[in-house]
Structure 1
Amino acid sequence: MTSQPMLTARVHRSGTVLAAAVTLVAAAVWAAHHGITAATYGDETGSRLAAVWAVTFLLLLSQTVMYHCERPRRVSPRGRRQLDALNVAVLLPVYNEDEGYLRLGLESFLAQTRRPTSVHVVDDGSTSSDYAAVRAWWLRAAAAAGIATTWQRTPNAGKRHAQAAGVKASPDADIYVTVDSDSCLAPNALAELLIPFAAARVQSVAGLVLATNHRTNLLTRITDLWFTTGQLTDRSALSAMGAVLVNSGPLAAYRAPVVRNNLDSYLNERFMSRRVMFSDDSLLTLYALGRGRTVQQPSAVVFTALPEKASHFTRMYMRWMRGSTIRSVWRMRYLPVTGYAYWAHLARWFQVALSTTVIGWLLLVEPVVYGNLPPASFLVVPFLIGWTQALRYLGVIRSDERMRQRAVTWLLMPLAVAGSWTVLRAMRWWGVATCARTGWGTRQNGAEVALTPAAPAARPAPVQAPLAKLLDPDTETTLQLALPVR
């Protein structure tokens, strides 16, 4: 197996992005106001709609301000020395993963500017491969790099039990880093991920997840746009308050007591008398919230493979929605009412319920019962809001894409919005109704996404001078890793 070309990227903030976001929000407010005043709704209905849109834009404005307040954490030289002394163990569960992606991720550990103390690979009874060649290579490479490592094969018991096997193999760890078997870390990802732990109250840190196969097809483009935007808006807003609700599986870190002290309940979670197989990341984040602050470090970047087929995406998303429903029950029960995370969680469900009600009213009740079609301006509002939030997507500069290529993906936001307001919304509520189905659902018959060595790889594109002048040197980070051109 040969390594893929190195990929570089820059994450930056820009005042231009903030100004554009404010402009688009203002346009959305105007469009909503115009729709209400131009429609033939009665005074009572019009007043209710005006109140609904006022609340919606107030929530949007507050979130916009909060996610622009997020900054990558920095550390003093003394703090860096303390972080360097930490025992950092990486937990890597493997189940029916593509060997190319698995090796790519392992290679990224060797390339870290701050290498982990140990890496613990647990093959959870894979049926598609025994990974003999990868295992032999990794044990030699890790030893040469001075990284302690274990590679276990266990009977299939699920991701949590595979992680627990890694925890038991690293009893002296101070920090546990959880990754997926297709995670490929940027060279400075681990060093950046550890920085927030310089603050004693921080209990978990989420990395920023980008796609390796984002240009494979329309589905991967839109998913990358939607997922990246969500991390840099919703999660960034929560991070500014130290209240991230869900860390992502491809890259997250936890203080060791968060994992060790809750290992029994983590392995034996039950919902409606059924064993819960998924939503492991959100449960670990909930444990962390119970001990202190949970944050995101946007300069800690990891690349992962997105679903390339609709059937794979559907199974993944349904797993997320069912897990989200279960986790919401636990948050209501266990999060302190005095904490910001509790109310942020309630506000999220309020927004979902409110938007669903408004859509149903405007598209069904008004036309069928009252004969009033929604004004065209109302249809513009969701797209303006989507483009506003997706401006954050343009702030992630990748060397395998020029800005105009990412702009083309940004222009696809109406498709993402339309899918989110229809198909994904229906799937969300179906996930609520079927949350008792707690099986994993993907990769049962082997890897569903494969790293193709023969795929054409783009050479790093030079950053043009006008763009370079826009980059904020305080938040710019260079990422390099072996990747194909996801």
Structure 2
Amino acid sequence: MSVTVTRRRSTAIVLGIVALLIIAAWAGHHAVETLRALDGDGTQFGLLFTIGFAFIVLQTILYFLERPVAAWPWHEKLVLDKLHVTVPVPVYNEDPELLRRCLWSLLEQERRPNLVYVVDDGSDLAKVDYGQIYREFGRAARLAGVEARWVRTANQGKRHAQGVVFADTSDTDIYVTVDSDALLDRRAIRELLRPFRSEKVQSVAGIVVASNVDKNWLTRLTDLWFVTAQLVTRSGLSAVGSVLVNSGPLAAYRAAVCRDNLDGYLNESFMGRRVSFSDDSMLTLYAKMRGRTVQQPSAVVLSAMPETVSHHARQYVRWMRGSFIRSCWRARYLPMTEVAFWLHALTWVQMLVSSMLVIALFVVAPLAGVGLAPWMLVVTAAIGLMQAFRYMTYRRSDVSLGSQLLTLAMFPLAVMWAFFFLRGIRWYGILTCWKTGWGTRQTVEVRAETTVAEAEDPQRALVAA
């Protein structure tokens, strides 16, 4: 099974014009509100809305500056193609068919890795059997000219499984990290390597889309929210070389980032407890402390998203606990002279301001008998739609245009879901940050038959518009 990606600029231009028009309309309103507030005649929330508006305008300008990095042909041939690329594949209670698809997508890359190193982190053999995959993958890798290694260890977590690879591959130049359910676009590795033409770049993030987007309303919602977040928040950070979190399903790091920090990576603790999650953001922080961290929007991977609210909530709680812990380390270790430090601080200001507004508008105001101005909801919806349009810059051949439009049409629900449900989970995660266990994957939670649908042509394509 293989996938391909093709980008078309025209869609992005049209969406850019739409976004700018919405921003212009909103800017006019808030300019008036700010002037009225300065004269003592504005709404009590005028200043807060103006701060929020300024942040979103800055973010919008930044994410429209992001462009895929193209390699010079001579440099790709003489330098990038000669890099020794290792792909660590940590496996723990993964559905065997999802793992199979992941491994074969690595062998079908236009730029194949030099080594695929699978580490079974003590999976429950009563629930999963990887024996046949192990034998078949070894033969297929030899035919593809790719070295393959497969080891089994006692269960010590994803970081330990990656650490086994980092410590055993001294000849590696670039590590491409993936999850065991990742289905890589055929050009994913080649595209990930291209930003490394700059010696300053230390890590590269790929774009993650849901392989099981058509499963139910939750997978659609998650795909819309997650893809949009990557193409808005992370694209903006990438434009200034300050990506703070790479995604586990697809990222690349200079080998020294991983090997030189291996002891700290394996032994991170917070409030006296060993931290077993937030591994991707930890590696990204190590990379940022050495140089630029960017996103390559032309490097795409499909990954299975949670299909139940329980799984989704547990995953997000883990992410938010890790996000808070990582924020502490960023505040401590990122220099105040770095753009990344101040952009990170701005995200916390935005979160605090927006949380205050939610409480004021939806709790305090109703209790005080104050009605909610309709334009507030209109502005929220307009912002959500403006950002959700970014989702349409990726068209997928495994998903019909009608299905994709149906997902986009869920943006009001996605906005409300993030505004209320995910916001509440975020604060819960922060308030329970000392709970540093993984929290998911005690058994197989997503199976292959509920992900990428079978088609007559096994080479399903992912077409980025």
TM bin, normalised by shorter chain, reads over 0.9
Counterpart AA for 1:380: V
The TM-score, its normalising length taken from structure 1, stands at: 0.89
Partner of 2:76: 80
Give 5+ residue unaligned stretches, structure 2: none
CA distance in 1, matches of 2:452, 2:300: 23
Partner of 1:57: 53
Partner of 1:147: 146
User: Which has the higher mean CA deviation after the structures are superposed, 257-266 or 357-366?
Assistant: 357-366
Q: Contact 2:80 / 2:194 at 8 angstroms: preserved in 1?
A: yes
* CA-CA distance at 1:31 after TM superposition: 6.7
CA distance in 2, matches of 1:151, 1:7: 25
Partner of 1:98: 95
Say if 2:422 is the partner of 1:416. no
CA distance in 2, matches of 1:285, 1:150: 26
Q: Contact 1:186 / 1:481 at 8 angstroms: preserved in 2?
A: no
* CA-CA distance at 1:368 after TM superposition: 2.3
Q: Which secondary structure state, in structure 1, belongs to the residue aligned with residue 395 of structure 2?
A: strand
Q: Contact 2:71 / 2:194 at 8 angstroms: preserved in 1?
A: yes
CA distance in 2, matches of 1:454, 1:307: 11
Q: Which secondary structure state, in structure 2, belongs to the residue aligned with residue 422 of structure 1?
A: helix
Counterpart AA for 1:403: L
Counterpart AA for 1:55: I
Say if 2:257 is the partner of 1:261. no
Say if 2:114 is the partner of 1:117. yes
Partner of 1:400: 398
Partner of 1:476: none
Partner of 1:68: 64
Say if 2:14 is the partner of 1:16. yes
1:366-415 residue CA offsets vs partner (Å, 9 max, x unmatched): 3323x321111111211110110011101111113343432221111110
Partner of 1:241: 240
* Pairs within 5 Å for 1:460-479: none
The TM-score, its normalising length taken from structure 2, stands at: 0.93
Shift in alpha-carbon separation, 1:211–1:287, aligned structure 2, 3 A = same
* CA-CA distance at 1:8 after TM superposition: 4.7
Say if 2:364 is the partner of 1:365. yes
CA distance in 1, matches of 2:192, 2:206: 7
Q: Which secondary structure state, in structure 1, belongs to the residue aligned with residue 6 of structure 2?
A: strand
* CA-CA distance at 1:454 after TM superposition: 10
CA distance in 2, matches of 1:437, 1:12: 44
Q: Contact 2:398 / 2:453 at 8 angstroms: preserved in 1?
A: no
CA distance in 1, matches of 2:6, 2:415: 26
Say if 2:409 is the partner of 1:381. no
Aligned length: 457
**Could you say which structure has the greater relative contact order, defined with CA pairs below 8 angstroms and 6 or more residues apart?**
1
User: Which has the higher mean CA deviation after the structures are superposed, 266-275 or 374-383?
Assistant: 374-383
Partner of 1:471: none
Counterpart AA for 1:117: N
CA distance in 2, matches of 1:356, 1:428: 11
* CA-CA distance at 1:453 after TM superposition: 8.4
User: Which has the higher mean CA deviation after the structures are superposed, 48-57 or 118-127?
Assistant: 48-57
Shift in alpha-carbon separation, 1:455–1:144, aligned structure 2, 3 A = closer
Q: Which secondary structure state, in structure 1, belongs to the residue aligned with residue 42 of structure 2?
A: helix
CA distance in 2, matches of 1:29, 1:413: 22
Partner of 1:107: 104
* Pairs within 5 Å for 1:308-323: 308-323=307-322
* CA-CA distance at 1:80 after TM superposition: 0.2
Partner of 1:199: 198
* Pairs within 5 Å for 1:151-300: 151-300=150-299
Shift in alpha-carbon separation, 1:334–1:447, aligned structure 2, 3 A = same
Counterpart AA for 1:266: Y
* CA-CA distance at 1:9 after TM superposition: 4.6
Shift in alpha-carbon separation, 1:481–1:142, aligned structure 2, 3 A = farther
1:207-251 residue CA offsets vs partner (Å, 9 max, x unmatched): 111111011000000100000000001000000000000000000
Partner of 1:133: 132
Q: Which secondary structure state, in structure 2, belongs to the residue aligned with residue 452 of structure 1?
A: helix
User: Which has the higher mean CA deviation after the structures are superposed, 112-121 or 403-412?
Assistant: 403-412
User: Which has the higher mean CA deviation after the structures are superposed, 219-228 or 49-58?
Assistant: 49-58
Q: Contact 2:212 / 2:305 at 8 angstroms: preserved in 1?
A: yes
Shift in alpha-carbon separation, 1:456–1:361, aligned structure 2, 3 A = closer
Partner of 1:474: none
CA distance in 2, matches of 1:21, 1:323: 32
Q: Which secondary structure state, in structure 1, belongs to the residue aligned with residue 160 of structure 2?
A: helix
* CA-CA distance at 1:54 after TM superposition: 1.6
* CA-CA distance at 1:65 after TM superposition: 1.1
CA distance in 2, matches of 1:25, 1:453: 39
- What is the root-mean-square deviation of aligned Cα atoms in Å? 2.4
Percentage of pairs with the same residue: 49
Counterpart AA for 2:52: T
CA distance in 2, matches of 1:376, 1:447: 45
CA distance in 2, matches of 1:24, 1:457: 40
CA distance in 2, matches of 1:345, 1:70: 18
* CA-CA distance at 1:28 after TM superposition: 4.2
Counterpart AA for 1:74: A
* Pairs within 5 Å for 1:340-355: 340-355=339-354
Q: Contact 1:8 / 1:399 at 8 angstroms: preserved in 2?
A: no
